[in-house]
A and B are shown apart, each in its own frame.
Chain A
Amino acid sequence: MSKKADAIEREEVVVRFAGDSGDGMQLTGTLFSDTSAFIGNDLSTFPDYPSEIRAPQGTIGGVSGFQVHFGHKQVNTPGDFADVLVAMNPAALKANAKWVKSGATIIIDEDSFTERGYEKAKYQVNDPVKENDLDGYNLIKAPISTLTKETLKDVGLDPKSILRSKNMFALGMVYWLFERPLKYTEDFFERKFKKKPKIIEANKKVLEAGYHYAETVELLTPTYKISPAEIEKGTYRNIDGNRATAWGFLAASEKSGLDLFCGSYPITPASEILQELSLRKDFGAKTFQAEDEIAGICTAIGASFAGSMAVTTTSGPGLALKSEAVGLAVMTELPLVIVDVQRGGPSTGLPTKPEQSDLMQALYGRNGESPVVVIAASTPSNCFHYAFYAAKIAMEHMVPVILLTDGFLANGSEPWKVPKMSEYPEIKPPIVPKGEKEWLPYARDPEKLSRTWATPGTSGFEHRIGGLEKDELRGHVSHDPKNHEKMTRLREEKVQRVENVIPEQTVEGDQEGDLLVVGWGGTYGHIKTAYDELIKEGYNISLTHFNYIKPLPKNTKDILSSFKRVLVCELNRGQFVDYLRMNFPHIEYYKYNKVQGQPFTTIEIKEHIKNLLKK
């Protein structure tokens, strides 16, 4: 079980099928790709075959290869090096050994590694490990030809036809390796050999035999003890959500060139963010442990006014206390990130347990029309990414951003491929250049609708801001009814226009169909695993998981509209589904909720989806 789970969780894998031109490697690769696509993987393929139609059998020149790169994430290239190589003969191994990752799994048909085979492939020594320097690789020698013959001995096919189906034995092994269902390939046999039932039967039998062989011998086990994030090359570390959040802010501080200021009051389960930032004075981070939650956010607002990259961190009860001040940041249009590490509520609730029940509070929990950007991280490590982007959006759009994580993400850790800061974009806050003429505090960028940032200490831009309604350009106090309505709409529209800079929402699986499973925030791991397992079990569903909550990605409506039913899973009584319903009332929503201060389990999500699909 653990082996299979590990395989499921891999983010991306490259498999290369290689054999003699006549071994059917293109077909094998295509079938594998199709199955992967059917179950919702993104993929990219790279057929690599000899220019000769039929080069001499068994020679290097006659090797045909098919590489497929597939993953749970977006895959844009066929991949440079393979995690798994299937080599049907010595020539195929020799030609492809340099294209596999160090320590990769290599499956060979040991029946073809004969004296004659080595000779054709021009091996110096008749030992692939020595010849191809494969020490430390997971070399799996399987008697593929022999077992194929054995499997089909009673089918009544000629020996040549029997041997031609050995590629299906190899495919079966790879399917087991990646927990792929055989159904799509079997369907292909049905269609392709409609009038040749014997061939259908033979191929099915060999495919299954390969699958069961791999399962029985379990030779493949060692390779797949690697956890998901370790697949990509690079430097890895373990990281939990709170530290990742803190580091995301430090990264944003570096990219913006503005010193970080964190005004916070300790609260479970958010305190570690403040603690981590307190440690990082070497990055110029100033942490202010305030006398209460309100002072925490107000010091941050004061620091933002002074031109710092300001954040405040808290959990649900703290966000409630901060709500008036969030409104002040909305009104003054100062950049600010408010982190809410959600826990069970209401009131003191379940301080150490995760829940997603602060969504409505984040969206609407303030007096007046008080729009803010709301973003939710979905894995411990991507707290880094979303903290960075929360800060980037806050500064570049001059708007408060609430970043939602939860106790599960905050305390959970996972291996994380450490990014290079060069992979992250610059942050360019709209600081008014010195000497700017005819500057007005509330004049707006025509695209973003953000105002500019003039900070105390800069000559010539002395101005006043505050919580009272302002007139449109100068920012003076205004009680004009029309102006208030205009400003209210501008503030809302400014938040909405953040949709122009956030990525489009993506769907895993079919882009349209019967059932779309929807999640948001910290439930990703469980929903994704449940989804993956259901797909493997042959269920036809799709998944979309939201990180950008307000504004929603531009294509949200199109996605939801492409499915007959939309099932929203969340750890509350249905706050996100209500939010979606409010925005897109025409969709047929279903909801799956849990309010136990516990994360979902994969099993319960699967069961719920299965039951829903029966209806």
Chain B
Amino acid sequence: MAEENNKQEYTAKDFKSDQEVRWCPGCGDHAIMNAIQRSLPQMGIPRENFAFISGIGCSSRFPYYMNTYGFHGIHGRASAIASGTKTANPELSVWQITGDGDSMAIGGNHFIHVVRRNVDINLILFNNEIYGLTKGQYSPTSKLGAKTKTSPYGTIESPFHPGELVIGAQGKFFARSVDNNIKLNQEIFLQAEKHKGTSVVEILQNCVIYNDKAHAEIADKKHKDDRQLVLRHGEKMIFGKEKNKGIVLEGLQLKVVEIGKDGYTEDDILVHDAKEQNPGVHLMLANMRYPEYPIAVGVIRSVEGATYERNMEKQVKTVKENSEFKNMDDLLRSGNTWEVK
């Protein structure tokens, strides 16, 4: 960042506001905030340059608990507010905190457009597949058939998968994680901040009250190693408690194999390339679902591209340099004018 001189040694505590955290005990949000507060000091950014911007929902209370600049907006519109803030001042590190209702339902339009424009913000999507703050209605990411207060007989609509939307909207950065993996989350947040462009991080988050254990089948410590594939750029897609499983490409499909079985060796296992422009494999990785596949966590896609706010700055600079006007008086007197004496 610009103010290299001001760089201070922060600790996680420096990023905690004096406000009492009001999420339910056991809510996944606590762990996510914990990871963010631990990762911010590692970014070398002055605290005053952070702006946390949210919409409405449980997760959107997040900015109140951060000792940074913060803006708790209105439902669904955080992407737009954050876009304005970042465009107005590109020096800021802008973080959007949102949920699956906020970003996938009411804010779906803004979500795809902020991704398309590639505004350099870090968009942390808390996906608990339920409306928590309104007390338990299904969301656009609830699994087909999910029984909730507004779908007592099961939902009859297919869920959105945020990764698909990101790639569909020409997204350049998509990562996924689980709320309780504080270490991986810190790693992802650091990469998200470093990435120039919209960095979407989907965090599978547990709503302990209205959708408890929604992600348990992949998140539970007992079997998470077998059901989560941690992706790191340049590393083989190997997973499992015994590190004996991997992903191969067979035909046009990804396939889970066991190393040393059916003739597969470690050499057959795909190496993750998050920087590949072609999103084909990234999309397949993002769409892996349990039980057929492990779910992919880590940075799935991270490709470079021009950002909106820098393009804007560039254009402003160029037009300024070539302008015939020095000030407003010049503009007012430009073109067809006439004198009355």
Contact = CB atoms under 8 A, between A and B. Distances in A.
Most B Cβ at <10 Å: residue of A238, A250, A298: A298
Most B Cβ at <10 Å: residue of A247, A299, A332, A459: A299
B328 interface: yes
B153 interface: no
B323 A282 contact: yes
A282 B322 CA distance: 8
A510 B17 CA distance: 62
30 contacts: A103-B341, A231-B340, A235-B340, A236-B338, A236-B339, A254-B328, A281-B315, A282-B323, A286-B88, A288-B84, A288-B87, A290-B113, A294-B80, A295-B77, A295-B109, A302-B81, A303-B84, A305-B51, A305-B81, A306-B92, A307-B89, A421-B332, A456-B50, A456-B51, A456-B69, A456-B92, A457-B49, A464-B63, A464-B69, A467-B56
Given A232-B340, A457-B91, A466 B72 contact: yes
A136 to B, nearest CB: 11
Contacts of B336: 237-238
B337 interface: yes
A437 to B, nearest CB: 16
Most A Cβ at <10 Å: residue of B64, B72, B74, B84: B84
A205 B31 CA distance: 98
Given A290-B80, A291-B110, A303 B85 contact: yes
Contacts of A459: 6, 46-48
Contacts of B47: 459, 462
A234 B89 CA distance: 39
A325 B333 CA distance: 37
B53 interface: yes
Contacts of A457: 48-49, 89, 91-92
Given A102-B341, A247-B332, A301-B73, 14 more contacts: A237-B335, A247-B331, A283-B325, A284-B320, A302-B71, A303-B84, A308-B88, A421-B327, A455-B69, A456-B69, A457-B91, A464-B69, A466-B64, A467-B72
A612 interface: no
Contact of B88 (A233, A302, A466, A468): A302
Interface residues of B, number: 60
A367 B340 CA distance: 50
Interface in A450-465: 455-465
Given A295-B110, A459-B48, A464-B70, A302 B85 contact: yes
What 9 pairs between A and B have smallest CB-CB spacing?
A: A302-B84, A466-B72, A282-B323, A299-B84, A298-B80, A464-B70, A302-B81, A306-B88, A303-B88
B316 A284 contact: yes
Contacts, number: 205
Contacts of B331: 247, 250, 280, 283
A306 B85 contact: yes
B340 A230 contact: yes
Nearest to B321: A282
Contacts of B71: 302, 305, 332, 464-466
B133 interface: no
Given A418-B332, A462-B47, A324 B70 contact: no
A262 B81 CA distance: 13
On chain A, which size bracket covers the interface? 35 or more
A466 to B, nearest CB: 3
Contacts of B113: 290-291, 295
B319 interface: yes
A252 B69 CA distance: 26
A306 B84 contact: yes
A509 to B, nearest CB: 28
Contacts of A103: 341
B166 interface: no
A448 B322 CA distance: 41
A270 interface: no
B340 A233 contact: yes
B341 to A, nearest CB: 5
A291 B82 contact: no
Most B Cβ at <10 Å: residue of A230, A233, A247, A282: A282
Given A302-B71, A458-B48, A477 B84 contact: no
B19 interface: yes
A456 B1 CA distance: 14
A476 interface: yes
Nearest to B65: A464
Contacts of B21: none
Interface of B: 6, 17, 19, 46-51, 53, 56, 63-64, 66-74, 77, 79-89, 91-92, 109-110, 113, 312, 315-316, 319-320, 322-323, 325, 327-329, 331-333, 335-341
A468 B72 contact: yes
B328 to A, nearest CB: 5
A195 interface: no
Contacts of A176: none
A123 B332 CA distance: 45
Nearest to B51: A456
B19 A305 contact: no
A294 B111 CA distance: 13
Contacts of A476: 19, 64
A261 interface: yes
Most B Cβ at <10 Å: residue of A238, A302, A420: A302
Interface string A312-332: 000000000000110110001
A420 B327 CA distance: 11
A292 interface: yes
Given A294-B80, A302-B84, A466-B63, A235 B333 contact: yes
A513 interface: no
A288 B79 CA distance: 13
A208 to B, nearest CB: 34
A282 B110 contact: no
A40 interface: no
A295 B80 contact: yes
A301 B50 CA distance: 17
Nearest to B335: A237
Contact of B73 (A254, A310, A328, A461): A328
Most B Cβ at <10 Å: residue of A294, A303, A457: A457
A384 B87 CA distance: 26
Nearest to B320: A282
A281 B109 contact: no
Contacts of A288: 83-84, 87
A291 B341 CA distance: 48
Contacts of A417: 340
B323 A303 contact: no
A300 interface: yes
Contacts of A308: 88-89
A462 B339 CA distance: 52
A257 interface: no
A299 B113 CA distance: 12
A463 B69 contact: yes
A325 B325 contact: no
B77 A294 contact: yes
Contacts of A234: 339-340
B84 A462 contact: no
A238 B81 CA distance: 37
Given A282-B319, A464-B64, A464-B72, A298 B84 contact: yes
Most B Cβ at <10 Å: residue of A230, A305, A418, A419: A305
Contacts of A292: 109
B68 A462 contact: yes
A9 B282 CA distance: 69
A283 to B, nearest CB: 7
B72 to A, nearest CB: 3
Nearest to B75: A324
Nearest to B112: A291
Interface string A398-420: 00000000000000000001111
A263 interface: yes
A101 interface: yes
